Amino acid sequence: MTPSSTAIPNLVEDIRRAVSNALAEDIGDGDITAQLIPAERQARARVITREDCVFCGKAWVDEVFHQLDPQLTINWLVEDGDHVSAKSTLFELQGNARTILSGERCALNFVQTLSGTATTAAEYAALASGSEIRILDTRKTIPGLRTAQKYAVLCGGCSNHRIGLYDAFLIKENHIAAAGGIKNAISQAHQIKPGALVEVEVETLAELQQALDAGADVIMLDEFTDEMTAEALKLARGRAKIEISGSVDEARLKQLSGLAVDYISSGSLTKHLRAIDLSLRLLSD
C-alpha cells in the first residue's frame, strides 16, 4: 500500500531538491557521452528488477525525467509498496534518447536505494506480524535522503520515529546530565515545545519511575533484562509507552511480543539496506 505523500513533512519539496542535486552532481555542465547520439533521436526503454523486492521510488523517477524533459512519457507498471518478483518490469520510458540515457543512473540510484530500504523494512515488519509491536526507524539515514528513507520505511510496512531533532524530544543520558536530571529535562521540554512528544531513555527502574512521574510520553529501556522489562511495563501501563532499541531477530521479537512491548526502534532499517539490482535496456522498434 502506497503511503500518502503527506505522511512525511516536506517530502514533495525534498524530492525536488534531492533530484536537482543528484542531476547536478552527475550531469554537471552536460552529458558528453549522450552527445554521441543525434539530438532528435527518439527511443523506448524498459527498467526491470533483477531480484525480488518491495518497490519504492516512483515520485523520484518522475521528478528526474520531469526536470530533464517534461515531454518524456513514463508508463508505470508498479506502485510504491508493491512486492515485486525478479525480472519484473517496473516502468517503461518513451522519448528523447539523450534524456533517457542521461537520467538513467540518477533515477535508478533513487529506486535501488529506496527499494532496498523498503525491502529491509518489510523483512522487519514480517517479524512483527501477529504482534502489537510497532517497528520504528531512527535518524540513522543517508545524509540528504532523510525524508526519502522515512517514506520507504512506511512502504515496507514499518513506522517512523521522529523525523529529526525538531519534531520530538528524545532525552538521553548526556541530555539528562546536562539538564540537571530527568525531572528538569522533561519539565523544560514541556516548556520549550508544548504538545511535542517527550521520550526519555532510562537505565534503571528508578529512572523509569522518575520519567513516569515527570510525564514522559515514551520511555526507552537501555540494557534492561527481561525481568526488568516486565516490571517496567507494569509500572508504565496506562501512563507511557515502552520502547526497546537495537537489533532484533525473530526469536528476540517473540520474547518482546510476549512482554507486550509497544515499540522496537532499529537503525538497521535505513543503514543496513542493500541496494536492489536494476537494469535499463533500450527497446528496438
Alpha-carbon dihedral sign for residues 62, 160, 251, 171: positive
- Candidates 161, 177, 188; CA nearest to 269 is 161
Is 254 an annotated catalytic residue?
Answer: no
Set 16, 44, 46, 172: catalytic member: 172
Set 105, 139, 252, 254: catalytic member: 105
Set 201, 207, 243, 262: catalytic member: 201
Tell me how far the alpha carbon of residue 217 is from its chain's centroid: 23
Set 31, 62, 123, 222: catalytic member: 222
d(CA 270, CA 121): 8
Set 44, 139, 140, 193: catalytic member: 140
SS (H, E, C) 210-233: HHHHHCCCEEEECCCCHHHHHHHH
Is 222 an annotated catalytic residue?
Answer: yes
Are 147 and 162 in contact by the 8 Å Cβ rule? The answer is no
Residues 6+ apart with CB under 8 A from 255: 226
Is 150 an annotated catalytic residue?
Answer: no
d(CA 253, CA 218): 19
Residues 6+ apart with CB under 8 A from 115: 49, 53, 54, 55, 56, 57, 152, 276
The 3-state DSSP composition of the chain as helix, strand, coil percent (nearest 5) reads 45, 20, 35
- Catalytic residues, by residue number, are 105, 140, 172, 201, 222
